[in-house]
Amino acid sequence: MDCLFCEIVKGNIPSKKLYEDEQCVAFYDINPMAPVHFLVVPKAHIACADEITQENSPVVAHIFCVIAKLAKEQGLCDGYRIVNNCKENAGQTVRHLHFHVLGGGPLSLQMA
Ligand code: 5GP
Ligand code: ZN
């Protein structure tokens, strides 16, 4: 299987990692859309939010705990946005579940 984020998780493709544990990895987005923009991904390959199930969903809860911790560490005390794009119509370009964390200043309220 040819998956960019699986390769980043394995360290085969370099990334600027800010956090890693047994379940997930966080790294800075290569094309930041905000002063702080990082991605948090499960180590196990899940293609998109549409493939979250009762069985694999514990990692999603874990990722949200990690996001809260990293947001504090990154100084995002005035707020931040968590974004997930699911499939083509939402503009998902990498088919490995990932949560964008954007912050570091006021964000536009545009939703689409
Ligand atoms: P999506 O559009 O699928 O929601 O988000 C994919 C994100 O991955 C984009 O924001 C894009 O900039 C980022 N990205 C794509 N390729 C790479 C890469 O090789 N390294 C890093 N760090 N980010 C990447
Ligand atoms: Zn993958």
Residue 110 confidence class, pLDDT cut points 50, 70, 90: confident
DSSP three-state, residue 10? helix
| CB of 111 closer than 6 angstroms to any ligand 1 atom | no
Q: Please identify, by atom number, the ligand 1 atom nearest to the C-alpha of residue 33.
A: 10
Does this model's pTM top 0.95?
yes
Rounded Cα–Cα distance for residues 39 and 21 (Å): 14
Quick: pLDDT tens for 12-42: 999 999 999 999 999 999 999 999 999 999 9
98 is a catalytic site residue? yes
Query: Tokens 């180590």 — which residue?
Result: 43
